[in-house]
Structures are given as structure tokens and as C-alpha cells.
Amino acid sequence: MATIKITVHPKDDSQIEAVKAFMKALKIKFEISKEKTVTLSGEQKKAIDQALASIETKGTIEHNTVMEETKKRFPHLFNR
């Protein structure tokens, strides 16, 4: 039989235990993963691809340099 993926959004641990008991009662093999699935939109994927391409062609800027420039441009955000 083919493997399928089912996503469950339990409200508490008792619901997790109920799902596990249900699967066991039906003798269905299952595994539980607590990994969070992230789905990116096409626009987000495109932005990431553009950023990676920019890194390859233009390189990167050190964190301290970025922070200094940001403080110069937006001092009101740092003097609270």
C-alpha cells in the first residue's frame, strides 16, 4: 500500500494520544514527526533566488558594516 501524508493540528496532548490509539486500533503503521513544514510562495522563492544570485555576483557585506550603515540612515530606530 502507498504511503500518504496526513497533517493533524491537535489542540493538546490528549488529542495526539487519541489519534495514536485510533491508528493502533486499526493496525495502521504510522510515525509522528514534529517538524514544521514551511511552504514558500512563488514570490518568496523568486526573492530567495535573486538574493542568492546577488551573493554569487556581488558577494556579501559584513554584519558590522550593515549595522553601522543602518544606524547612520535610521538613527531614530536605535535611540529609544
Where along the chain do its domains lie? 42-77
Model confidence pLDDT, tens digit, residues 51-77: 999 999 999 999 999 999 999 999 999
What mean pLDDT is predicted for residues 38-43?
93
What are the grid coordinates assigned to 24, written together? 493502533
- DSSP 3-state assignment of 50? helix
The Cα–Cα gap between 30 and 3 comes to: 10
The Cα–Cα gap between 4 and 60 comes to: 42
Q: What is the pLDDT of residue 24?
A: 96
DSSP-assigned letters across all residues of 3-17: --------SSHHHHH
Q: Give whole-number Cα distances, 48 to 41, 54, 70, in Å.
A: 11, 10, 22
Q: What is the pLDDT of residue 53?
A: 96
Predicted confidence band of residue 20 (pLDDT cuts 50, 70, 90) = very high
